[in-house]
Amino acid sequence: MERDIIIKFLNRAANAEEKRQVLEWLEQPGAKKAFDELLKSEWEISLTREKDETDYKKLLHQIHIRTLGTKEKKQANTIFPWSKIFRIAASFALLVGCIFFIKNGLDYGKETNGLAENRIQRSTGVGEKLTLKLPDGSTIVLNGNSSISFSSTFGRVNRHVQLDGEAYFQIAKDSLKPFQVLTEGMLTTALGTAFNAFARDGLYSVALTEGRVAIEATDKTVELSPGQIVILDKRENLPAFNISTFNYIEIMGWKEGILDFDRVPLGSILDDLANWYDVKIKIEDGIDVNRRVIGTFRNKNLSDVLTGLGFSMGFEFTIDKNQVGIKKNSL
């Protein structure tokens, strides 16, 4: 990196391209060491070159002003002679302080877009699952028709993710940076734990399997213990906020390929199957969709699941690619 560009950068005289060059250079391996050596070399030259002294006085004067308080800045704006002792002290400020100012872009703000954080998003289609390993060691299993996003700086300052859909979290411990899952309806905070989170169509829930989590929603904050689930249903005029115990397989089974129904209405089951297997289900008249179902299916395809349900619920079905027809048994 050229010396003149660095000096212009410190003096706020660099153009946008020169600023970009300096900031990108500082991100390269070995740049800090090279920068230190450059400044030391130039300072030593300045001590023997009286004609360069004015430029360095101005440079050090600016850096000194930036590190002073408001009152001291006013005093620094007055003209005073630079003694040899002050020049030595200022040279130290240059070597140490300049790194800080450059790395922080000298408050250029929006002009340092090249270093701005980006948003990373991962999504799944209907019927898909995705396992993500985050930089902090946490693992996320994303259910079908869901998405999760987080900053490219995840783990450096905080551990925040945003969820739309359903996911299972296994959180690495970090007491200094709590892991937070933000949904439209809830904020879940955890240190080191495992839980299932759901957020879709006004229905939100968190089911805890390990550790402890804090849930913030509807101006309330609650803590869950393992085996508890909190459900917030905003589909009603008066939102319901309930805590209860849960059946592990019923809530977490999707992750293991297990479908478990415990007195669940047939209509809800068919809606879930449509999402899990990426199909459209047409239900003909005569089917009691409110009839409740009890059953467990392990790693079964759609045809096997519908065969089992049809036998107990009295219906038959047809599958044509992604179209499924349900009608009352003709027998």
Query: pLDDT by residue (tens digit) across 287-306?
Result: 888 888 887 887 678 888 89
Per mean pLDDT, which range of 116-125, 199-208, 232-241 is the poorest? 232-241
pLDDT the model gives residue 41? 64
Residue range 56-65, pLDDT digits in tens: 455 555 545 5
Share of the chain above pLDDT 70, in %: 69
In this predicted structure, the answer to whether residue 179 has a pLDDT above a threshold of 90 is yes
Confidence of residue 257 (pLDDT cuts 50, 70, 90): confident
In this predicted structure, the answer to whether residue 192 has a pLDDT above a threshold of 70 is yes
Confidence of residue 69 (pLDDT cuts 50, 70, 90): very low
pLDDT the model gives residue 65? 53
Contact 320, 314 (CB under 8 A): no
Q: Which residues pair with 318 in a beta bridge?
A: 325
Rg (CA), the chain: 31
pLDDT the model gives residue 224? 92
Confidence of residue 185 (pLDDT cuts 50, 70, 90): confident
Per mean pLDDT, which range of 45-49, 209-213, 288-292, 321-325 is the poorest? 45-49
In this predicted structure, the answer to whether residue 16 has a pLDDT above a threshold of 80 is no
Per mean pLDDT, which range of 92-96, 159-163, 294-298, 313-317 is the poorest? 92-96
| Mean pLDDT score, 242-258 | 86
pLDDT the model gives residue 6? 75
Write the class of the CATH domain 257-328.
alpha beta
CATH for 119-248, options being 3.30.479.10, 1.10.1050.10, 2.60.120.1440, 2.60.40.10: 2.60.120.1440
In this predicted structure, the answer to whether residue 249 has a pLDDT above a threshold of 70 is yes
Q: 102 vs 33, which has greater pLDDT?
A: 33
- CATH 2.60.120.1440 placement within the chain: 119-248
pLDDT the model gives residue 39? 63
- CATH 3.55.50.30 placement within the chain: 257-328
Per mean pLDDT, which range of 135-144, 164-173, 284-293 is the poorest? 284-293
Q: 30 vs 312, which has greater pLDDT?
A: 312
pLDDT the model gives residue 150? 94
Q: How far apart are CA 160 and CA 190, in angstroms?
A: 11
| Mean pLDDT score, 208-213 | 93
Q: Which long-range contacts (CB under 8 A, 24 or more apart) does 196-200 make?
A: 196/166, 196/167, 196/168, 196/169, 196/251, 196/252, 196/255, 197/163, 197/166, 197/167, 197/168, 197/169, 198/165, 198/166, 199/163, 199/164, 199/165, 199/166, 200/164, 200/165, 200/166
pLDDT the model gives residue 296? 81
At 259, list the tokens.
């479908």
Q: How far apart are CA 15 and CA 1, in angstroms?
A: 15
pLDDT the model gives residue 295? 78
In this predicted structure, the answer to whether residue 148 has a pLDDT above a threshold of 50 is yes
Q: What's the chain's average pLDDT?
A: 76
| Mean pLDDT score, 82-94 | 44
| Mean pLDDT score, 270-292 | 86
pLDDT the model gives residue 40? 59
